[in-house]
A and B are shown apart, each in its own frame.
Chain A
Amino acid sequence: MPATRDHPQPALRCRDISVNFGDVTALSEVSADFAPGMIHAVVGQNGAGKTTFARVAAGLIRPDAGEVIVAGNAVRTGNVNDVRQAGVELVHQSFALPPSFTVAEAMEFGASGSGFLYSRRKLEQRWQAHLESLDVKVDDRARVRDLPVEIQQSVEIARALVADAKILILDEPTAVLSPSGIANLFERIEKLKQRGVTIILILHKIREVLSVADTVTVLRGGMRVEGPIDCAGINAGQLAELIIGSAAPREINADDRVALTGAGTVAHAESHSADTTAIPMLEMQSVSTHRDAEGPALEDVSLVIRPHEIVGVAGVEGNGQRSLVRALSALSDLAGGTISFEGTDVTRKPLSGRRAAGLRVIPFERNVEGLSLSSALWENWSVRELLQKSLLALIKPAELRKRCAQALTSWSVVYNDVSQPAGALSGGNAQKVILAREMDDDARLILAAQPTRGLDIGATTFVWQSLRSARERGCGILLISSDLDEIFDICDRVIVVLSGRIVGDFSAPYDIAEVGAAMTGAVR
């Protein structure tokens, strides 16, 4: 297409891109033209192919078919150096900076040209100036691992701009940020746009798309269903319809729809208050832990969860969520305080004792902590009861296989055979296996840590429904999530953690601005 005034040459043009991972089609003949000097959003649910699309454009994945054309010139697909040469840079969702590097080293290792040897001082001078020009306030001698996530992201953006980037792609940059962090990011992006950089944002919240982007492209199931179209010409409802699609797996209620797409404010229609006279399912009194490598220690955390109650934990990641789960599941020693389940002190009980008392955990990393990927499904499913038995208790595999098959079927897990390894399942099905194990009839207190991360719409709503029905049965539930929409949708109460402390306690109706302010310590 010749460049004309009405149709300037696209900064980035993707033509008929198809990507398959084994049997799974990640992208299917996706074409899109991105005009220069604008902010483009690419939206879609998990599994829609957004990250794959970004990585193809950045040269990290070689598509099975299709072309990537930067400013009119085709680049060799799947070749990062070629693509970077052409001025395309990608900022990853979970940042790609070696944690032990200093900020200056992280800048330098991705740079090109200008000398082979360097002295530390020369390096720091060069990159401090670069960081200042981008308004990133950070000591460039600091190590990446010691930086808060928002600063890490700024550093990664600065890293992407060390060369003369013309197109900057950001993969889900808002997923790890607090609401105010998102506002700061969007300000930074507007500034880059004024410098003439073309921005492509991979997002999944409609609210964010409409507040920052000029155009929007919608992906669903690896296909482009719309766009890029002008954001002025579309409203939140229409976008939600495009993202979810008409062929949604089951009826999704209005609140869940809003929560899935971030299209507005969750009304939280089904809020109900728990019985405050009932014996609390969980009572933590002034619990503190020791600091370790995985995050800040808990400091003086007191928390009550009653039966029939879902309590949400909001907070920027790395503010003590993992310490909280470890403290409750007896995986770390307490420095002080007490924990009781249903009025019984379990502070000194090991995990097995707590599980016997009804504690169940849906862990953060389903493929690492939740399942043994190389073990059979029935083995993964039956560990719950096997671990409760005595060391020499007889195991009856045939019976366990049969019961496992029944359980998995009732949780609508799609699988071939209970003897297949857990690693062969998709993310949604793998999570359902964990639910089938952890949400049994004896469950009393359920810790659900990021239970929907990376799951598609069907699996996400399934998890939400499961948590709600556990609440109906009288369980107490602690839901840890970095997705505020999810928390607002299904939680009866929300606490906010910051640096290992509880800094806020909210109940419906929630105000995203108030909760967001608590997440960054702007109030109290």
Chain B
Amino acid sequence: MDDIIIAILRSGTPLVYVTLAGVIAQRAGVWHLGLEGLMITGACATILGIYLSGSVVLALIVAIAACVVGSILFWFVIEKLKANPIIAGLGLTGLGLGGTALAVQSIFGTQAAVNAPFGLPRLGPAFGSYGVLSVFVLLMPVFVFAMWVLLRRTRFGLKLAACGEHPFAARSVGVNPSAMRLAALMIGGVFCAIGGAELAAGSLQIFAQNMTSGRGFMAFAAVIFGAAHPVGAAFAALFFAVVGAIGIRAQLIFGDNVPHDLLLGLPYIATIFGIWLSTRLRGGNKTAASFGELRDY
């Protein structure tokens, strides 16, 4: 049983962090499809940082800086250049996937995976068999709670939600929706960096091209599934991780009796099912009316 829970936490934790980034962006009115690109940027920067500097702290700082810069770029394109956020988000994802590959190629002269000498600090023997997990697994509920407080129990959170839902209302009490979106995206950048770091260095110590393999999009699905509520979305992300773990377990049990690809596809099927279910339950997403568009009024 423990090994299943460990597997779920390993695959679920990076997803939860990236989901939180999606939640705060969604609340500010930005449909964030650049999560995938920021996540892989965080993963790559962490491994390269550890490899080149030998310091986890320095590596995390580099990863966060890279993701925050990526988020500012995203904000600039959608807010100042008025690009469609959906397209710009997909562009950011492309930039992240291609940029990380290019970085690895230009530093090592090869497309092969990069191994770091060590990863993020682990919980250690005090946690028994869970000691193999990284400290960010333990911090995950703390960050979820912190995000909930920020969004649901501070005036900042109310203003942010107003910017997403009714920007004119925000403007008429003196809030600048554009600045609030920048803040939301930058905070999201930090979480994407942590999510990417956890993915690459939480249980592994490796960066491979395209290693996020759609997790950023799954995180976005969790945002929608969880109605942009930090706790709801975090549970949605964990649900996807559970389905993924079941898929892997099923492979071991059924072997070749069930097509391998079908089981690997389970998390994605669950994602589609989850979105369908959440639409059924809530009668459509409340932000769907402005699908993807930034609104100023």
Q: Does A326 reach chain B (CB closer than 8 Å)?
A: no
| Total A-B Cβ pairs within 8 A | 60
Cross-chain contact of A118 among B153, B166, B169 (Cβ < 8 A): B153
Q: Does A84 reach chain B (CB closer than 8 Å)?
A: yes
A90 close to B172 (CB less than 8 A): yes
Collect the chain A residues with CB atoms within 8 Å of residue B170's CB: 109
Q: Please report which residues of chain B, range 205-248, place their CB below 8 angstroms from some CB of chain A when the two chains form the complex.
A: none
A99 close to B158 (CB less than 8 A): no
B166 close to A60 (CB less than 8 A): no
Report the bound CA distance from A435 to B216 in whole Å. 49
Cross-chain contact of B172 among A96, A101, A117 (Cβ < 8 A): A96
Q: Does B162 reach chain A (CB closer than 8 Å)?
A: yes
A109 close to B168 (CB less than 8 A): no
Q: Does A80 reach chain B (CB closer than 8 Å)?
A: yes
A107 to chain B, nearest CB (A): 10
Residues of A participating in the B interface, judged by any CB pair closer than 8 Å: 58-60, 79-81, 84, 90, 92, 96-101, 105, 108-111, 116-120, 293
Report the bound CA distance from A1 to B169 in whole Å. 36
User: Provided the pairs A109-B155, A117-B149, A118-B153 are in contact, do residues A98 and B172 lie with their beta carbons within 8 angstroms?
Assistant: no
A101 close to B162 (CB less than 8 A): yes
Report the bound CA distance from A119 to B172 in whole Å. 25
Q: Please report which residues of chain B, range 147-174, place their CB below 8 angstroms from some CB of chain A when the two chains form the complex.
A: 149, 153-156, 158-159, 161-162, 165-166, 168-174
A60 close to B172 (CB less than 8 A): yes
Closest B residue to A94 using CB positions:
B168
Collect the chain A residues with CB atoms within 8 Å of residue B125's CB: none
Closest B residue to A79 using CB positions:
B174
Cross-chain contact of B162 among A80, A98, A117, A293 (Cβ < 8 A): A98
B180 to chain A, nearest CB (A): 11
Q: Does B283 reach chain A (CB closer than 8 Å)?
A: yes
Report the bound CA distance from A120 to B172 in whole Å. 24
Residues of B participating in the A interface, judged by any CB pair closer than 8 Å: 149, 153-156, 158-159, 161-162, 165-166, 168-174, 283-284, 286
Report the bound CA distance from A117 to B150 in whole Å. 8
Collect the chain B residues with CB atoms within 8 Å of residue A101's CB: 158, 161-162, 165
Collect the chain B residues with CB atoms within 8 Å of residue A118's CB: 153-155
Report the bound CA distance from A403 to B155 in whole Å. 57
Closest A residue to B173 using CB positions:
A110
Known: A60-B171, A80-B174, A101-B161. 12 other contacts (CB 8 A): A59-B174, A99-B165, A100-B161, A100-B286, A101-B162, A109-B158, A109-B161, A110-B173, A116-B156, A118-B154, A119-B153, A293-B283
Jot down 29 A-B pairs with beta carbons below 8 A, ordered by A: A59-B174, A60-B171, A81-B174, A84-B173, A96-B166, A96-B168, A96-B172, A97-B169, A98-B162, A98-B165, A98-B166, A98-B169, A99-B166, A100-B161, A100-B286, A101-B158, A101-B161, A101-B162, A108-B155, A108-B158, A109-B158, A109-B170, A110-B173, A117-B154, A118-B153, A118-B154, A118-B155, A119-B153, A293-B283
Report the bound CA distance from A293 to B282 in whole Å. 12
B149 close to A97 (CB less than 8 A): no
Collect the chain A residues with CB atoms within 8 Å of residue B154's CB: 116-118
B234 to chain A, nearest CB (A): 20
Collect the chain A residues with CB atoms within 8 Å of residue B169's CB: 96-98
Report the bound CA distance from A116 to B158 in whole Å. 11
B155 close to A111 (CB less than 8 A): yes
Cross-chain contact of A100 among B159, B165, B168, B283 (Cβ < 8 A): B165
Closest B residue to A293 using CB positions:
B283
B84 to chain A, nearest CB (A): 15
The interface residues of chain A, by DSSP majority, are classed as: loop
What 6 A-B pairs are tightest by C-beta distance, nearest first?
A80-B174, A109-B158, A110-B173, A81-B174, A96-B169, A98-B166
Closest A residue to B159 using CB positions:
A109
Collect the chain B residues with CB atoms within 8 Å of residue A105's CB: 158
B162 close to A109 (CB less than 8 A): yes
Collect the chain A residues with CB atoms within 8 Å of residue B286's CB: 100
Collect the chain A residues with CB atoms within 8 Å of residue B158's CB: 101, 105, 108-109
Collect the chain A residues with CB atoms within 8 Å of residue B171's CB: 60, 80
Report the bound CA distance from A80 to B170 in whole Å. 10
Report the bound CA distance from A100 to B166 in whole Å. 10
Collect the chain B residues with CB atoms within 8 Å of residue A116's CB: 154-156
B171 to chain A, nearest CB (A): 7
Report the bound CA distance from A59 to B171 in whole Å. 10
B12 to chain A, nearest CB (A): 28
Residue from the set B156, B158, B159, B171 with the largest chain A CB neighbour count within 10 Å: B158
B47 to chain A, nearest CB (A): 37
B74 to chain A, nearest CB (A): 24
Cross-chain contact of A98 among B149, B153, B161, B283 (Cβ < 8 A): B161
Collect the chain A residues with CB atoms within 8 Å of residue B283's CB: 293
B26 to chain A, nearest CB (A): 13
B237 to chain A, nearest CB (A): 23
Report the bound CA distance from A105 to B157 in whole Å. 10
B278 to chain A, nearest CB (A): 16
Closest A residue to B156 using CB positions:
A116
Report the bound CA distance from A343 to B169 in whole Å. 49
A334 to chain B, nearest CB (A): 20
A117 close to B153 (CB less than 8 A): yes
Residue from the set B169, B170, B172 with the largest chain A CB neighbour count within 10 Å: B172
Cross-chain contact of A58 among B153, B172, B284 (Cβ < 8 A): B172
Collect the chain B residues with CB atoms within 8 Å of residue A92's CB: 168, 172
Report the bound CA distance from A97 to B159 in whole Å. 11
B94 to chain A, nearest CB (A): 28
User: Provided the pairs A117-B149, A119-B153 are in contact, do residues A80 and B166 lie with their beta carbons within 8 angstroms?
Assistant: no
Collect the chain A residues with CB atoms within 8 Å of residue B174's CB: 59, 79-81, 84
Closest B residue to A115 using CB positions:
B155
Report the bound CA distance from A46 to B169 in whole Å. 23
Report the bound CA distance from A97 to B168 in whole Å. 9
Report the bound CA distance from A447 to B128 in whole Å. 73
Report the bound CA distance from A80 to B284 in whole Å. 34
Collect the chain B residues with CB atoms within 8 Å of residue A98's CB: 161-162, 165-166, 169
Collect the chain B residues with CB atoms within 8 Å of residue A293's CB: 283-284
Report the bound CA distance from A189 to B149 in whole Å. 38
Closest B residue to A159 using CB positions:
B173
B174 to chain A, nearest CB (A): 4
Collect the chain A residues with CB atoms within 8 Å of residue B161's CB: 98, 100-101, 109
Report the bound CA distance from A98 to B29 in whole Å. 13
User: Provided the pairs A80-B172, A109-B158 are in contact, do residues A97 and B166 lie with their beta carbons within 8 angstroms?
Assistant: yes
B221 to chain A, nearest CB (A): 21
Collect the chain A residues with CB atoms within 8 Å of residue B156's CB: 116
